Amino acid sequence: MKENMKNVFLCYRKNHGMTLIEVLTALTITLVCISIIIFYVPLFKASFQTSGQDIHMFFQQIKDDLNDAFQIQINENELLIFDHEESYRYYRSNSNIIRSKSGAGYEIVLQGVKKLEASYQDYGADLKITDTNGVEWDAALGFRPSVERRIKE
């Protein structure tokens, strides 16, 4: 019986484990596979969705800039707001809406935008934004009545 047990464990004595080169090769192959999966599988990519809160904050920013405005100029994918001291430019670049103040610097005020449309109205402008998911957001932007009276006088 003792001899039978000796024969059973002899097959395990011939395995001495893996060499350092084998371990490093296996580790390298594993890391390459993981990096390929992370970069090429779309499940791990974060899809950006414009939230209602971001849109409302964007519209509020434009309304704040319109507080002392006396003129609005609308071009393709661009909205210019002029007040007595500053000028504000909102324009679409790729999928972002960018705001610059008096031509100095810029800040991204909204992301995930597919289209920016503005139309001039007597009270100010109508602004329509389409996000990358196809959802449309619109707002009526107007001058403050006190600024309108000051200009008319």
**Which tens digits make up the pLDDT trace of 19-32?**
889 899 999 999 99
| Whether the Cβ atoms of residue 140 and residue 126 lie closer than 8 Å to each other | yes
Pair 120, 81 in one domain? yes
Domains: count for the chain: 2
Pair 29, 86 in one domain? no
pTM: 0.61
**Which tens digits make up the pLDDT trace of 58-95?**
888 888 888 888 888 888 888 888 888 889 999 888 88
**Which tens digits make up the pLDDT trace of 99-148?**
998 888 788 888 888 888 888 888 888 889 888 888 888 888 887 655 44
| Whether the Cβ atoms of residue 88 and residue 80 lie closer than 8 Å to each other | yes
Pair 59, 83 in one domain? yes
Q: Which two tokens stand for residue 37?
A: 């999966």
d(CA 39, CA 28): 17
Pair 40, 57 in one domain? no
User: What is the number of other CB atoms lying within 10 angstroms of the CB of residue 65?
Assistant: 20
Q: Which two tokens stand for residue 148?
A: 């309108």
d(CA 73, CA 92): 15
Instruction: Tell me which residue range forms the domain holding 58.
Output: 52-152
